[in-house]
């Protein structure tokens, strides 16, 4: 790097020791740097014009470089730097692709898990509804029959009703209700109380109305077969009359509250 | 006076024109700027010491920038461009500091 120095030092360096040795036009009046500066500032000369030109070129280049540098970071990068950058970007891309694959696998697993959870949930809800109807904890409606037993002599007994309930269950009854007020469930009991009837601790007034949800055809057959409920209550000993109405829309609105077990807990 | 005006004019021109760099100049412009700054400091020092000459200054200015850019270009051709540009910057920086020390001495005598 000695070449660019050569034009410059040849003039300043020998004369920096004795500034007065080589007389020049600007130098004759004052040797002091400050006075020289002030004089140059006040009295422009041809050499200053050249200096101004050079300064303008340098300033122009500086602004040029600074502006283009702010525009593009990679424009003046060298080839090997760019290769290194590309390598780094490639490695980063591979790493991110791996991460993307992992995340997509996780997403797939979570989605299938969500689907199976939804299936299990809807299955559980269906079974809950079925069990709620069977256990009598929710109202129910559907096709069925409405049995009305008009019993003026009050001879229909609890055992007759229990037989009737059993027949209905055998015929596929899914929900039953006495007098629109007492739901019949697995633990329902019937008792005689004087001349009246008590079902699940509730008085059942006459005429006795029994709503049954199930296949109406089968249920009616179960009521009317010889020796069944109809022949029992209409016999000479009881002397009651019975009517059976089929309907597509029997409503069973009364519910029972399921008792919470005090000691037993379900195990899975 | 005119020199200061020239500096301002250069800055204003650069801002107003917003020139886009031709691609082959881009790696060399910073080196050229540093070399030009070095020449300016040398000229300033020579002026303060009373040894300033137009011809010497212009020749040093032009040759400094061309040689600096040429060295870096050569380095790029033979694959040591970044190392050479670092070397050139270091040498020019040292020269700028030396010139600045001379200017300071002639202005403040310290």
Whether residues B51 and A22 touch (CB distance < 8 A) is answered with: yes
Mean predicted confidence (pLDDT) in B6-11: 77
Each residue of A92-107: pLDDT tens digit?
999 999 999 999 999 9
Residues 6+ apart with CB under 8 A from A171: A214, A215, A218, A219, A221, A222
Q: Which of A9, A32, A4, A54 is nearest to B49 (CA)?
A: A32
Give A31's contacts in chain B (Cβ within 8 Å).
50
* Cβ neighbours of B38 in A, within 8 Å: 4
What distance separates the 2 farthest-apart alpha carbons in chain B?
Answer: 46
Cβ(A204)–Cβ(A179) below 8 Å: yes
Interface contact flag, B39 A8, Cβ < 8 Å: yes
pTM attached to this predicted model: 0.42
Note whether A12 contacts B45, CB cutoff 8 Å: yes
Q: How far is B20 from chain A (nearest CA, A)?
A: 7
Pick from A20, A24, A55: CB nearest B10: A55
Of A100-114, A127-141, B16-30, B84-98, give the lowest mean pLDDT range: B16-30
Average pLDDT value for residue range B11-38:
78
> Regarding the domain delimited by A141-252, which CATH topology (the fold level of the hierarchy) does it fall under?
Alpha-Beta Plaits (3.30.70)
Of B37, B52, B95, which is closest to A26 when you measure between CB atoms? Answer: B52
Per-domain residue ranges for chain A?
A: 30-76, 78-135, 141-252
Pairwise pLDDT comparison (A33 vs A240), residue with the higher score: A240
ipTM passes above 0.90: no
For residue A195, give Cα distances in angstroms to A155, A162, A190, A205, A231.
8, 17, 13, 10, 21
DSSP string, A164-229: HHHHHHHTT--EEEETTTEEE-TT--EEEETTEEEETTEEEPSSEEEEEES-HHHHHHHHHSTTSH
């Amino acid at each position: 790097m000695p070449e660019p120095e050569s034009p410059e030092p040849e003039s300043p360096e020998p004369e920096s020791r004795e500034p007065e040795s080589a007389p020049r036009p600007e130098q004759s009046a004052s040797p002091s740097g400050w006075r020289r500066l002030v004089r140059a500032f006040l009295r422009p000369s041809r050499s200053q014009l050249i200096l101004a030109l050079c300064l303008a070129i340098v300033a122009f280049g500086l602004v040029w470089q600074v502006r283009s540098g702010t525009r593009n970071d990679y424009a003046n990068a060298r080839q090997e730097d760019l290769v290194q950058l590309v390598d780094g970007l490639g490695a980063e891309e591979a790493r991110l692709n791996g991460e993307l694959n992992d995340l997509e696998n996780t997403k797939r697993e979570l989605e299938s898990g969500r689907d199976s959870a939804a299936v299990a949930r809807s299955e559980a809800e269906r079974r809950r509804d079925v069990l709620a109807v069977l256990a009598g904890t929710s109202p129910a409606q559907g096709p069925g029959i409405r049995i009305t037993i008009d019993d003026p002599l009050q001879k229909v007994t609890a055992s007759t009703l229990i037989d009737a309930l059993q027949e209905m269950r055998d015929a596929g009854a899914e929900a039953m209700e006495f007098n629109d007020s007492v739901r019949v469930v697995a633990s329902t009991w019937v008792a005689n109380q004087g001349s009246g009837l008590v079902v699940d601790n509730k008085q059942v007034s006459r005429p006795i109305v029994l709503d049954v949800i199930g296949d109406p055809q089968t249920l009616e057959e179960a009521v009317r077969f010889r020796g069944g409920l109809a022949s029992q209550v209409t016999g000479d000993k009881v002397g009651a009359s019975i009517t059976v109405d089929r309907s597509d829309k029997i409503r069973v609105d009364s519910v029972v509250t399921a008792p919470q077990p005090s000691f037993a807990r379900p195990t899975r | 006076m005119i020199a200061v005006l020239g500096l301002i004019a250069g800055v204003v021109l650069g801002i107003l024109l917003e020139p886009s760099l031709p691609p082959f100049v881009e790696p060399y412009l910073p080196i050229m700027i540093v070399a030009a700054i070095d020449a300016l400091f040398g000229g300033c020092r020579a002026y303060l010491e009373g040894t300033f000459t137009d011809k010497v200054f212009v020749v040093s200015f032009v040759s400094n920038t061309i040689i600096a850019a040429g060295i870096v270009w050569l380095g790029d051709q033979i694959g040591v461009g970044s190392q050479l540009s670092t070397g050139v910057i270091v040498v020019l920086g040292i020269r700028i500091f030396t010139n600045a020390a001379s200017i300071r001495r002639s202005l403040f005598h310290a």
